[in-house]
Amino acid sequence: MKFTEEHEWLREEDDGVIVVGITEHAAEQLGDVVFVELPDVGTVISKDDEVVVIESVKAASDILAPIDGEIVEVNEVIVAEPGKVNDDPEGDAWFFKVKIDDMSQLDDYMDEAAYKKFIG
């Protein structure tokens, strides 16, 4: 699993598919999530595109695409029940899956130890 400075996690599945979500730390900081808007399947994304809107009781935030690729699946469960993002952010409450060509895009991101250090 890799982590970004924007508090997203990326997990490699088979066939060049990457699952993306937000970290426990991010979910805790956001507070109770009440709204999630996900991209359409088939959307071609570039790094730093605003791909997800997430609103908590406190504020609205964007999730930026951490990599270039194509959205192949989104997690409708968190649209129907946004509170799941607080319950299990690094498990069932993943956000979307991206198919990518270039796996080296992940190289620059932190591993778990580095991320833990990053959030202090």
Partner 1 sequence: MTNKTGASETTAKDDLSQFEVRETCGCGGDHAPGAHHHDHAAPQDQGPKRTPLYDLHLELGGKMVEFAGYQMPVQYPLGVLKEHQHTRARAGLFDVSHMGQVILQSRQEDAAAALERLVPVDVAGLQEGRQRYAMFTNDAGGIEDDLMIANRGDHLFVVVNAACKEADVARMRAALEPGVIVRLLDSRALLALQGPAAEDVLAGLNPAVREMRFMDVATVELAGAECWVSRSGYTGEDGYEISVPAAAAVDLARALLAHGDVEPIGLGARDSLRLEAGLCLYGHDIDATTSPVEAGLSWAIQKVRRADGARAGGFPGAERILRELVEAPARLRVGLLPEGRAPMREGVALFADPDSATPVGQVTSGGFGPTVGAPLAMGYVPAAMAAPGTELFGEVRGKRLAVRVVKMPFTPANFKR
Of the residues 13, 46, 47, 60, which one makes contact with partner 1 according to CB under 8 A: 60
Helix, strand or coil, per DSSP, at residue 115:
helix
Is there binding between residue 43 and partner 1 (CB under 8 A)?
no
* Nearer of residues 16 and 37 to partner 1, judged by Cβ: 37
The answer to whether the CB of 92 falls within 8 A of the CB of 80 is no
Structure tokens at 31: 């507070």
Is there binding between residue 61 and partner 1 (CB under 8 A)?
yes
The answer to whether the CB of 114 falls within 8 A of the CB of 4 is no
The helix (run of H) or strand (run of E) holding residue 119 is helix 112-119
Q: Which stretch binds partner 1 (CB under 8 A): 10-18, 46-54, 70-78, 109-117?
A: 46-54
* Nearer of residues 16 and 49 to partner 1, judged by Cβ: 49
- In the complex, least distance from residue 16 CB atom to partner 1, rounded to whole angstroms: 25
* DSSP assignment string, 37-86: E-PPTT-EE-TT-EEEEEEESS-EEEEEPSS-EEEEEE-HHHHH-TTHHH
Q: Which stretch binds partner 1 (CB under 8 A): 13-21, 52-60, 99-107, 110-118?
A: 52-60
Task: Kindly list the residues in this chain that would bind partner 1 in the complex (CB under 8 A).
Answer: 6-8, 22, 26, 29-32, 34-35, 37, 50, 53-55, 57-64, 79, 82-83
